Structure 1
Amino acid sequence: MSGSAKKKSDTSPAPGQARGNQPTLDKEELLRAYHDMVLIRRFEERTGQLYGMGLIGGFCHLYIGQEAVVVGVQMALKKGDKIVTSYRDHGHMLAAGMDPKGVMAELTGRATGYSRGKGGSMHMFSKEEHFYGGHGIVGAQVPIGAGLAFANKYRGTDEVAVAYMGDGASNQGQVFEAFNLAALHKLPCIFIIENNQYGMGTSAARSSASKALWRNGEPWSIPGQKVDGMDVAAVRAAAAEAVAHCRAGNGPYLLEMSTYRYRGHSMSDPAKYRTREEVEEMRREHDAIERVRRALAALGVEEQQLKATDDEIKKVVTEAAEFAQTSPEPDPSELWTDVLVEG
């Protein structure tokens, strides 16, 4: 752990709390962030509606509340950087540039989906956008992220790999094995813990002996910092620092994004382990989208311009839902494809 990283992280904020001398984004960057975060939220809200109507089957984990994390990180990446994440993945797909129509079609099990209707909510991929899933097994994506970083280094590129995980996955054994390999081989991998304060039904404070998840890489000398994950500018700044560290050949980096999910762990979770007042306070006091709206207003952006963006996104999401519901289901012959690869 470098002295500078430790100093910054020791005073890191809880969700929604601002740190002094916060980094800022210019107007165009804020408008881009606003568009991308609102797109994710409206898409997820429609996803929840379709799930309630029985049009989406299986498990479904919504990203509502955490939008600033993936949008801020994506702003620090370039084309060719690799991304892998867990089952709370729809927002990551949209931020990476995947078509909302293809994502929604996959959610509804249609042949026009990114996995031809066979992957569903947790298992979508896009080689074109360098998005390698969506993985349903807790923590399983993290070694894959290390593998993607190894491929980058082996090929001699300056591309990085980003492996997202939740706070519930951060103490999995395979995660620490991935840390070890990444540090041993100085792999350009950014490990991101999206600490939304709760696992499936237990707070991180009760389930993790480590109370500073950003320090979990210290046994392997992996630098890290904790970031206000409800502030897209702070996320982008921290991600840019991590990316620069990796591109320079200095090995992996760990970021703990302190964020919050407004909905249950999955669509089947009533989230009775926390109070309604707690959730309402987070929405009222710390919402990432509202923070950007206030910043844009301070820069002179009129409400009418933001409403136009909102209307545009509403149309995109409506078209995605209509496309998904009118697309054909996979042919039964698809049962026999993608199950075996012969060398």
Structure 2
Amino acid sequence: MTKPNNYEALYRQALLIRRVEEEIIRLYPSDKVQSPVHLSIGQEAVAVGVCSLLKPEDRMFSTYRSHAFYLAKGGDLNAMMAELFGKVDGCCGGKGGSMHLAYPKVGFMGTSAVVASGIPNAVGNAYANQILGKSDLTVSVFGDGATEEGVYHESLNFASLHKLPIIFICENNQFAVHTRLESRQSYAIREHVSSYGIDTFHIEDGYDFCTVQTQFANILADYHDDPRPVFIEIDTCRYMEHVGPGEDFYGGYRDQSEHLEWRNSDPLLTDQQTYNALLAEVNKQIDESVAFAEASPFPTITDLYQDVY
């Protein structure tokens, strides 16, 4: 891994995401977290590398495994923690929970528990940008399982047909809940995307935020020269269970040996010097966010009728 000048900043962002989720794991048995959680531990580098190159006005539409992208895009940690606690100061007023985070002021446009449902929203945003002549970037993030949904294919077709300015990013961790990719898909993802006339790219080292940033920067340069639909598949690895605070190796569909090579390359596990140098600062920020969430009140009956359209 070649370390760029902003290595420490990238590392700090990745460490913050991991430590936030480790704190969620610690808190979960207390029932303070008021919603199911889909953790990004192991996948942080994708969000960090990509979002490090985005501007606040660039809009991102993500998935229910959203903590990493929310934070990497600039979402407020206090507001996120309060949302997980179901408190009124949460980013969605305590009504959405972990799977429905949003922070539009930094271009994080919201997430949904429905697989692939954010993709057409992103395509609609890109279509609006095209009509309005805006150069802001639209990014759609989803997992490999979303490529099996009909709306995904409809969205690719529409984006290609209208040459929309959008970047699709597929986080491929090889699993949809407990089912391996090869048991679900008769197609190769990028080859199938190419059939729509969309340029595809592949980032294999999704554990390395430096590599993700560098390769994404190259893709962005090419995109800005010719705004159009672009598809990037990024290999990654989910360390924890599909949903919840634990591991799931007991399930028999995978084992720890499959993660060994990935973990051996994970800078949050291998670069202990930087980890230790940043840990106290990161932990302090997390402690403050938990205290903020604890102090925030729960929504009232009156709040129930707000934001209803």
Q: Please tell me the TM-score bracket, short chain as reference.
A: over 0.9
Do the aligned residues in 1 keep the contact of 2:138 with 2:165 (CA within 8 Å)? yes
Separation in 2, partners of 1:58, 1:93? 17
76, 95, 109: which one pairs with 1:132? 109
Q: Deviations over 1:268-313 (max 9, x none)?
A: 775214444325514542324346x38xxxxxxxx3x652311100
2:203 corresponds to:
227
Q: Deviations over 1:8-50 (max 9, x none)?
A: xxxxxxxxxxxxxx8x442x32111100000000001111222
Q: Secondary structure at the match of 2:17?
A: helix
Separation in 2, partners of 1:81, 1:161? 6
1:320 aligns with 2:256: no
1:215 aligns with 2:191: yes
Q: Which runs of 5+ in 2 are unaligned?
A: none
2:12 corresponds to:
35
Separation in 1, partners of 2:150, 2:57? 29
61, 72, 81: which one pairs with 1:104? 81
Separation in 1, partners of 2:149, 2:259? 31
Cα root mean square deviation, aligned = 1.9
Q: Secondary structure at the match of 1:224?
A: strand
Quickly say closer, same or farther: Cα 1:147–1:248, change in 2 above 3 A.
farther
Q: Deviations over 1:296-336 (max 9, x none)?
A: xxxxxxx3x65231110011111111211221001111111
Do the aligned residues in 2 keep the contact of 1:188 with 1:250 (CA within 8 Å)? yes
Q: Deviations over 1:145-194 (max 9, x none)?
A: 11111122222122111111011111211001110111111111111111
Q: Deviations over 1:122-147 (max 9, x none)?
A: 11211211111121100001111111
Q: 1:246, CA displacement in angstroms? A: 3.5
Separation in 2, partners of 1:127, 1:275? 37
Amino acid at match of 2:107: H
1:281 aligns with 2:260: yes
Q: Deviations over 1:220-262 (max 9, x none)?
A: 1101122121122221133223323433343111111110010
2:23 corresponds to:
46
1:337 aligns with 2:300: no
Query: Percent same amino acid at aligned positions?
Result: 33
Taking the TM superposition and a 5 Å limit, the aligned residue runs for 1:1-343 are 24-26=2-4, 28-210=5-187, 212-228=188-204, 229-267=206-244, 271=248, 272-278=251-257, 281-282=260-261, 284-290=263-269, 293=271, 303=273, 306-340=275-309
Q: Secondary structure at the match of 2:37?
A: coil
Separation in 2, partners of 1:334, 1:208? 44
Separation in 2, partners of 1:145, 1:288? 31
Do the aligned residues in 2 keep the contact of 1:85 with 1:164 (CA within 8 Å)? yes
Q: Which runs of 5+ in 1 are unaligned?
A: 1-21, 295-302
Q: Secondary structure at the match of 2:6?
A: helix
Separation in 2, partners of 1:286, 1:203? 22
Do the aligned residues in 2 keep the contact of 1:35 with 1:309 (CA within 8 Å)? yes
Do the aligned residues in 1 keep the contact of 2:117 with 2:151 (CA within 8 Å)? yes
Quickly say closer, same or farther: Cα 1:180–1:110, change in 2 above 3 A.
same
TM-score (norm 1): 0.84
Do the aligned residues in 1 keep the contact of 2:104 with 2:110 (CA within 8 Å)? no
Separation in 2, partners of 1:150, 1:330? 36
My pick for the range that moved more, 265-274 or 172-181, is 265-274
Amino acid at match of 2:156: F
My pick for the range that moved more, 269-278 or 32-41, is 269-278
My pick for the range that moved more, 275-284 or 249-258, is 275-284
